[in-house]
């Protein structure tokens, strides 16, 4: 599933992902399991309340690599 992130339109990071979900532009959200709950908690709630598909990735490093950045990412979303 992560392979699709490289070639798709996406938002990287919690702030950008939150904006996308709030503006009804997110198709699916990926959250790293090792990300701080304080950082991702509000995003999870927003995804549930807006009925956006939520997928978990084991580590921030894996998620960052999947989107082609050198650092870890707490959250990423596929855009509509």
Domain limits, the chain: 3-79
Which tens digit of pLDDT belongs to each residue from 9-31? 999 999 999 999 999 999 999 99
Neighbouring residues of 77: CB distance < 8 A, sequence distance ≥ 6? 10, 11, 16, 17, 20, 21, 26, 27, 28, 29, 30, 52
The CATH classification number of 3-79 equals: 3.30.1330.30
pLDDT band at 3 (very low <50, low <70, confident <90, very high): confident
What are the backbone angles phi and psi of residue 26, rounded to the nearest 5°?
Answer: -90, 130
Q: How far is CA 78 from CA 16, 47, 64, in A?
A: 11, 13, 14
Which tens digit of pLDDT belongs to each residue from 27-74? 999 999 999 999 999 999 999 999 999 999 999 999 999 999 999 999
């Amino acid at each position: 599933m992560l392979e699709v992130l490289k070639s798709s339109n996406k938002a990287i990071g919690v702030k950008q992902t939150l904006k996308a979900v709030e503006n009804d532009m997110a198709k699916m959200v990926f959250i790293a399991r090792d990300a701080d709950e304080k950082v991702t908690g509000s995003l999870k709630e927003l995804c549930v309340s807006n009925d956006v598909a939520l997928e978990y990735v084991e580590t921030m490093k894996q998620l960052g690599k999947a989107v082609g950045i050198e650092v870890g990412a707490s959250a990423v979303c596929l855009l509509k």
